[in-house]
Amino acid sequence: MHLLALSLNYKKVPIEFREKLAFAESELAAAMATLKESQSVFENVILSTCNRTEIYAVVDQKKRGEDYLKRFLASWFHLSITTFSGFLDIYQELEVANYLFRVTCGLESLIVGEEQILSQVKSSFLFAQENQATGSVLNTLFKSAITLSKKAHTETLLSRNSVSVGSAAVQLTKNIWSDLSDKKAAVIGAGQMSELSAKYIAAQKIAGLSIANRTYEKAQKLAERYHAQAVKLTELEQSLTEVDFVFSSTSSKSFILDESLIRIVQAKRGDKPLILFDLAVPRDIEPTVRSIRGVKLYDIDDLESLVKFNKSERQKAEKEVENMILKATDEFENWLSAQQVTPIIAELQEKSMQIQEKVMETIDHKLTDLSTHDRKVINKLTKSIVNQLLRDPILTVKSLTTDENSPEKLTLFKEIFKLSEDKKH
């Protein structure tokens, strides 16, 4: 049993590749089921956001598990492994725990310390649980990560010096127009990112906010929450002629705003400035709209160079969180080590008791005149002998959980007592 994680994230992977490797929400259940059906994969959780596509898994063998996960990604997205292998980060064993803790606390985010990733990790984990894709190892790991993140954001100043991608985009509009009171905005989409964008925009007391979505009822619900106007996608062209900036974050596989539409919109607007924020992966807005007069387009990757932080304050908070992560990783290591020896101890005890039972059967055949009382005494004494003989081996195997050569020594222990290899749980 081994922990493994594969990550394709914004630090290495340009957005034009990330959008090719993003799981649609409707695909996740089938993807996790496909992984679970493999003999190599015992447990799995898929985390797919605008900034990262990651698979966390418990596998039977490290090399075989890694090869299988790569082939799975290639097959699912109809790509060759060489297309993305150069961008891939691979984590093994406790590296997986440490990395997941960093991700969930926001230390690996584009906007360091942002809290949206906690919600995304939690949703991905709960969805995996609902689809029976997880087991004891990932259940414990992800619960630990979620608890740690909440503690980190509560007990340190990490969140105070961070913003989400949506709020960073709103801040950028304030840098462009210092006064937003006479500006109008549109949000396209009704998911989590869109709701956060609507929340930040509404807080600026702008002149008007419209929300468009493929499902009009969802647009209406979000619009009611933030005192906005719901718009049907068929009415989007007219709506865009009336706004100054647009936030788009849908799960569409094709462009919501293409160059031809924006050219029509700008012609009606008289080429007045139009700021477009594409917060989706795959992208919602065709990149060539940048060539249109008066249009400025910012995508997820552009925001990385636009966000400014209070660096010294944030770095101090980061250090505190990193220390918390090291402690949490140690705690998970202790738990994981205990889980590795528990089945070994159970099998050793079961095997020993089977021997004791066979001895009792032999005694029954050879000493047929034993009274019920005498048989109970012998049975009790032979069990006591077995337990006393097992005492030192059990204490020894428990001590191996903290040994730096634990895997090798546990393997030797199993060989000495002729215990079976790990089985798929």
| pLDDT attached to residue 157 | 79
Spatial CA neighbour of 350 closest among 272, 420, 263: 420
The domain defined by 2-162+319-331 carries CATH number 3.30.460.30: yes
Residue the block writes with tokens 């204490």: 395
pLDDT, tens digit, for every residue of 10-57?
Answer: 888 888 888 889 998 899 999 999 998 888 899 999 999 988 999 999
120 annotated as a binding-site residue? yes
pTM of the model: 0.65
Residue the block writes with tokens 């969805």: 127
pLDDT, tens digit, for every residue of 358-367?
Answer: 999 999 999 9
114 annotated as a binding-site residue? yes
270 annotated as a binding-site residue? no
| pLDDT attached to residue 170 | 77
Interatomic CA distance for residues 418 and 324, integer angstroms = 40
**Token pair of 47 as six digits:** 């985390």
Interatomic CA distance for residues 251 and 223, integer angstroms = 19
190 annotated as a binding-site residue? yes
Q: How confident is the model at residue 113 (pLDDT cuts 50, 70, 90)?
A: confident
Interatomic CA distance for residues 280 and 49, integer angstroms = 9
| pLDDT attached to residue 265 | 93
- The mean of the pLDDT values for the chain is 88
- Cβ neighbors of 148 (< 8 A, separation 6 or more) are 101, 104, 105, 324, 325, 328
Say whether pLDDT at 164 is over 70: no
C-beta contacts of 28-31 below 8 A and 24+ residues apart: 28/124, 28/127, 29/127, 29/131, 31/76
- In angstroms, how far apart are the furthest CA atoms of the chain? 109
Q: In this structure, are residues 91 and 5 in contact, taking their beta carbons and an 8 Å threshold?
A: yes
Phi, psi of 58, deg, nearest 5: -110, 125
353 annotated as a binding-site residue? no
131 annotated as a binding-site residue? no
Catalytic-role residue among 50, 103, 152, 170: 50
Please state which of the ranges 29-43, 159-173, 190-204, 248-262 shows the lowest mean pLDDT: 159-173
Active site residue 105: no
Determine the average pLDDT of the residues in 83-109. 93
Q: How confident is the model at residue 96 (pLDDT cuts 50, 70, 90)?
A: very high
266 annotated as a binding-site residue? no
Q: In this structure, are residues 196 and 53 in contact, taking their beta carbons and an 8 Å threshold?
A: no
Determine the average pLDDT of the residues in 56-67. 91
Q: In this structure, are residues 325 and 391 in contact, taking their beta carbons and an 8 Å threshold?
A: no
Q: In this structure, are residues 59 and 65 in contact, taking their beta carbons and an 8 Å threshold?
A: yes
pLDDT, tens digit, for every residue of 232-290?
Answer: 988 889 999 999 999 999 988 899 999 999 999 999 998 889 999 998 888 999 999 99
- Cβ neighbors of 252 (< 8 A, separation 6 or more) are 214, 280, 282, 284
The stretches of 270-371 forming alpha helices (DSSP H) are 300-303, 311-366
Residue 37: strand, helix, or coil: helix
In this structure, how many other beta carbons lie within 10 angstroms of the beta carbon of residue 187? Answer: 34
116 annotated as a binding-site residue? yes
Domain parsing of the chain, residue ranges: 2-162+319-331, 165-303, 347-416
| pLDDT attached to residue 310 | 47
Give the length of the chain: 425
- Whether 2-162+319-331 and 165-303 share one fold: the answer is no
| pLDDT attached to residue 253 | 86
| pLDDT attached to residue 423 | 47
Q: What fold, for 165-303?
A: Rossmann fold (3.40.50)
